[in-house]
Amino acid sequence: MEKVSKFSLKDVNLWYSDFQALKNINMEIPANFITAFIGPSGCGKSTLIKSLNRMNDLIEGCRITGDILLDNESIHGNIDVNMLRKRVGMVFQKPNPFPMSVFDNVAYGPRTHGIKSKFRLNEIVEKSLCDAAIWDEVKDRLKKSALSLSGGQQQRLCIARALSVQPDVLLMDEPTSALDPISTAKIEELVIKLKDSYTIVIVTHNMQQATRISDRTGFFLLGELVEYGKTERIFSVPKDKRCEDYITGRFG
């Protein structure tokens, strides 16, 4: 059964000053799927994922043409960017907890969106930490600094922080590249569970990771989306020679 599209990208081009980082990207990203972006460094994967919640707006000299629709509504129209980023959460490559307690990290987003009730915040923090599969490890350390957690725990805390504002979409830019294999496995298990409730887009350099967790894969090269389709097909019978060469390790 074909899933409804969460994002539709139509003729998306993006420049950083004179450098064109994305070239004519057209793709549909289905709801409640895990979509992986793969390709060598500097091919446009992270640029594209940051365009989905307008993080690139923060970069001077960045301009974009074409359109990106979220639930059939343009993200460049009359949309409040703060509301967009509430709906489309982001987890970065390096865990980046705020220098405050575990509790305050997760409560930060709900508080900025006006939730003041202690009871409600307690509920949200517990649910978010449970959803991020870290509650049992931190429930007795909620008042301790988030910086005292291990790298893998910090990354799951950052996922909990992203989930605390109830987004529709979770963007993950190489979320396990700074982690050891055991922490990586925990995050991958978590991501697979989360797709029941969220649409997930993940940038990964690890092709085994893409095959393990994603439903759809897009292969990028020099700012172009070279090939996009079901992960199983992309990795077993790629149609484009450049995609085949990349996944068989001939370059990249």
Domain ranges of the chain: 5-247
Closest CA to 37 of 236, 170, 210, 177: 210
Whole-number pLDDT of residue 3: 61
Q: Which two tokens stand for residue 110?
A: 């709900």
pTM above 0.85, yes or no: yes
The architecture CATH gives domain 5-247: 3-Layer(aba) Sandwich (3.40)
Whole-number pLDDT of residue 251: 72
Burial grade of 164 (CB within 10 A; 0-12, 13-18, 19 or more)? buried
Looking only at the bridges linking them, the beta strands covering 62-70 and 73-74 are antiparallel
Q: What is the mean pLDDT of each run of 10 residues along the chain (252 residues)?
A: 80 96 97 96 94 92 96 92 93 94 97 95 97 95 97 96 95 93 93 95 95 98 97 97 92 66
18-49 per-residue burial string, b: 16 or more CB within 10 A, e: under 16? eeebbeebebbbbebbbbbbbbeeebbbbbbb
Task: Give the integer Cα–Cα distance in Å for 35 and 21.
Answer: 20
Whole-number pLDDT of residue 252: 61
